[in-house]
Amino acid sequence: MVYSISAMRSPSVPSVCNWCRSTSNGIRNTNISLLLKKEPFYRKVFARMSSPDSDSSSLKVAASNKVRVPGGQGDGSLSLTDQLENPETGLEDHLVLHDVNDPTIEHEKKLEDEEKFVEPPSRYHEIDNEQDSASSTLAGEEASAPIDGTESIEEDEARTRTIPPPGTGQRIYEIDPLLNNYREHLDYRYGQYKRLRDTIDKYEGGLEVFSRGYEKFGFTRSATGITYREWAPGAKSAALIGDFNNWNPNADIMTQNEFGIWEIFLPNNADGSPPIPHGSRVKIRMDTPSGIKDSIPAWIKFSVQAPGEIPYNGIYYDPPEEEKYVFKHPRPKKPKSIRIYESHVGMSSTEPKINTYVNFRDDVLPRIKRLGYNAVQIMAIQEHSYYASFGYHVTNFFAPSSRCGTPDDLKSLVDRAHELGLLVLMDIVHSHASNNVLDGLNMFDGTDSHYFHSGSRGYHWMWDSRLFNYGSWEVLRFLLSNARWWLEEYRFDGFRFDGVTSMMYTHHGLQVAFTGNYSEYFGFTTDVDAVIYLMLVNDVIHGLHPEAVSIGEDVSGMPTFCIPVEDGGVGFDYRLHMAIADKWIELLKKRDEDWKVGDIVYTLTNRRWLEKCVAYAESHDQALVGDKTIAFWLMDKDMYEFMALDRPATPLIDRGIALHKMIRLITMGLGGEGYLNFMGNEFGHPEWIDFPRGDQHLPGGEVIPGNNFSFDKCRRRFDLGDADYLRYHGMQEFDQAMQHLEETYGFMTSEHQYVSRKDEGDRIIVFERGNLVFVFNFHWSNSYSDYRVGCLKPGKYKIVLDSDDPLFGGFCRIDHRAEYFSSDGWYDDRPHSFLVYAPCRTAVVYALADDGLETDKR
């Protein structure tokens, strides 16, 4: 019999709190120091250096005409189609994708492609002098030099790895027959991809070689000196300047080849020392269509901001061998199910300051491991001059952010994570770039169409940033090499690609509501060049490192997004299930009575077959100023006064803590094959993230007030989750138990998922995932005794997770000593069922008692 009870705190069952455990895990303070703390690197750099030549001409930023260079390649920014069909095509002749529903046009286009296809020549001349050959050899060794037995084995493996050739690209039609209606577009896309792979094979020695651009461009060291190369076809002249030559623009003049690549070789000093000292500042001075400008080299490996200055300075980073970090630990194996702790090193301190790689390594990584996550995703790694951009306005793509330490500090962080068995994923930004001219890629050679599309197509009006031209040969080299650089130099285990929706469509997903109609994905608004780039970068990632993970931030639901490239897909391992977080925010703005459990289930399960998703209830996006975290939506200002256990909670706090746990568990249980949490949200971190900022003065005279450059809300109060006298602690304990439950049972990647009940009246959701049965009661007041739930397998069931456990801040309304025996007979379309007690606002997970698994890891 089922009956309701109207009071959340007063279940009509005997008190069973004598079984409850009042103890909780203590936190072991692991403080392993792999590197000695040193003074900030930039202070050592600038303490002994003179200022750059103050007589340099000021930069004049102006619209520029298209620049022609010897060889007829324009400024190098050609679309893929133009380059492949006609190397002499001008910059602005971009591919126009005709309507895929018009087979006549598509057929004619294919015929034109077949008739006109001509491969471009190599984009830089063969290096045939001894000095450059030595430079090339050493650069390849420095990328990941053998350091011990383990590393030597991995280097041997890396040399034998090859990127597999393209497949047929036809399996997508077996997976989703509806794609046959868009075969013209998809076959054209795959044909262009294969053609580009063939061209790279023919003129660059293959994608494996093409993606090692850092061995040719930027600074490369050889036994006899240093070679510096830069692609800047719009520049009229170029010179390398820096502390090493007293910023003399006439000392080291560079020469240009027919492809717009500038080059200079600097021999070693007479005493054999390198011509550019480690840690010294460097820039390239160019005479451009926009005037004389000094720029940080595009392939710079480190850049810092001098005290009191705004633009960053490029740093020649090549420490002595004894100072280079030596990796000690192999990469962990890719887990079957991935549980990601999204983090930001700079704001990871409990103190109001910018944290360091070393402190994150010693203090935060052990915490992540203890909480039960198996991967850490790190944001804001690529250098960005504007801290408040959250790392998304990248200025120097090959340089780790110097705010948090040196490149070697970052390497020690990654190595420590590997020692703990954690994958390290990097939040990589290839969707756009900072529009900074002095220390970024914008107007690098004086033209607005160098690395980016020209005009409005190259500008993202909402992000105020520049958009890459993925049809440019050298842009492809730059970005593909960038992804590989982070995998091999820093040994990251994969990427979360930011802003992929913006890349794949010419409208960038702005002011567009995707309905799921396939014509929204395969038509005029698709940027085929960008999609092909994503296919190529996934080829590089998975071809060279099969254990690596690639995750794409796509809100559109692009079909084939997570299908392997060889089968015709884009090639990502996972898509971020962004609709889930939006759904929770939508519901939290409503009364509990207006929630629809069917709507919740639909959103969580609405994903494409065989395309894996990473689910999350909230990420860093919801934590930013202007938005609110789930905890803040639920509990608001009561969080400031009623989270201590020595004073009574308010109804708002009770409701908030209960729903916070339920929302996170059902998101993990139904939402995808992976799970993500932003640091601090596991315990309901109060307030929002507000980066230090001053007042912003808009052109119209309006002033947007800042926060007086305060770091107070740009940190993570981990101490709140650790304090066992605060209610935050119970929320943190629940999140930890949730992670360990998934580790034990692996339910996220189970092929068995069945929702047996979505009862709008009772507000009950029952589903099976793997061998577990999940029971959620979202009712705000009704508790149900002897509530029958269906199950697939017969036997005796036990409780393996209970959100009402006092350890998690619950009310101890369920006796964990109870046994639940199934009975035969169909119920909710299941062959068996058992009876449970379902208190209001609780989530309980049941497992077969004789499965032999050890479940209590708290």
Burial group, residue 18, by CB count within 10 angstroms (0-12, 13-18, 19+): exposed
- Phi and psi at 328, nearest 5°, equal -115, -20
Q: How far apart are CA 361 and CA 343, in angstroms?
A: 12
| Residue 775 near residue 756 (C-beta atoms within 8 A) | no
Bridge partners, 823 (sequence order): 833
Q: How far apart are CA 539 and CA 533, in angstroms?
A: 10
> CA 726 → CA 175, 715, 721, 730, 731, distances in Å?
50, 19, 8, 8, 10
- What beta strand segments (E) does 435-583 contain? 459-460, 465-466, 494-497, 549-552, 574-577
* 591-617: pLDDT as tens digits: 999 999 999 999 999 999 999 999 999
Residue 7 has pLDDT above 90, yes or no: no
To which H or E segment does residue 399 belong? strand 396-400
Structure tokens, 141: 């060794």
Ramachandran category for residue 732: left, alpha or beta (phi over 0 → left; psi -120 to 50 → alpha) = alpha
Strands 796-802 and 375-379: unpaired
What's the whole-number mean pLDDT along residues 272-284? Answer: 97
Q: Helices in 27-118 by DSSP H: which ranges?
A: 41-47, 80-85, 103-116
Residue 12 has pLDDT above 80, yes or no: no
Q: How far apart are CA 77 and CA 469, in angstroms?
A: 7
Residue 446, amino acid: G
Beta-carbon count within 10 A of 57 CB:
12
pLDDT band at 145; cut points 50, 70, 90? very low
- Share above pLDDT 70 across residues of the chain, in percent, rounded to a whole number: 80
Cross-sheet strand order for the sheet of 830-838 = 784-791, 830-838, 823-827
Residue 741 has pLDDT above 50, yes or no: yes
Which among 600, 597, 604, 599 has a CA at the least distance from the CA of 578?
604
Residue 148 has pLDDT above 90, yes or no: no
pLDDT at 390: 82
To which H or E segment does residue 408 belong? helix 407-419
> Looking at the annotation, which residues are catalytic?
498, 553
pLDDT at 348: 84
- The DSSP output letter for 273 is -
Number of separate helices (H) and strands (E) present in the chain: 21, 33
* 332-361: pLDDT as tens digits: 999 999 999 999 999 988 889 899 999 999
What's the whole-number mean pLDDT along residues 523-531? Answer: 96
Least confident of 151-155, 400-404, 459-463, 571-575: 151-155
- Share above pLDDT 90 across residues of the chain, in percent, rounded to a whole number: 72
Which among 205, 217, 208, 117 has a CA at the least distance from the CA of 536?
208
Which among 99, 192, 178, 188 has a CA at the least distance from the CA of 518?
178
pLDDT band at 853; cut points 50, 70, 90? low
pLDDT band at 280; cut points 50, 70, 90? very high
The separation between CA 101 and the C-alpha centre of its own chain, rounded to angstroms, equals 35
What's the whole-number mean pLDDT along residues 555-577? Answer: 97
Residue scoring higher pLDDT (755 or 21):
755
Residue 193 has pLDDT above 80, yes or no: yes
Tokens 């007041």 found at: 781
What's the whole-number mean pLDDT along residues 734-741? Answer: 98
Q: How far apart are CA 718 and CA 259, in angstroms?
A: 53
Which among 797, 783, 750, 771 has a CA at the least distance from the CA of 337?
750
pLDDT at 625: 59
Residue 124 has pLDDT above 70, yes or no: no
First and final C-alpha spacing in the chain: 34
Q: Name the 3-class secondary structure at 806.
A: helix
| Residue 718 near residue 349 (C-beta atoms within 8 A) | no
Residue 565 has pLDDT above 80, yes or no: yes
- Phi and psi at 777, nearest 5°, equal -115, 100
Bridge partners, 624 (sequence order): 689
* 209-221: pLDDT as tens digits: 999 999 999 999 9
pLDDT band at 708; cut points 50, 70, 90? confident
Q: How far apart are CA 600 and CA 617, in angstroms?
A: 12
Q: How far apart are CA 375 and CA 359, in angstroms?
A: 18
Q: Mean of the per-residue pLDDT values for the chain? A: 84
Q: Name the 3-class secondary structure at 734.
A: helix
pLDDT at 486: 98
Q: How far apart are CA 341 and CA 748, in angstroms?
A: 16
pLDDT at 351: 87
DSSP state letters, 818-841: --EE-EEEEETTEEEEEEEEE-TT
What's the whole-number mean pLDDT along residues 818-841? Answer: 97
* 463-507: pLDDT as tens digits: 999 999 999 999 999 999 999 999 999 999 999 999 999 999 999
Structure tokens, 8: 């959340």
Q: How far apart are CA 525 and CA 297, in angstroms?
A: 34
Q: How far apart are CA 567 and CA 570, in angstroms?
A: 9
Residue 255 has pLDDT above 70, yes or no: yes
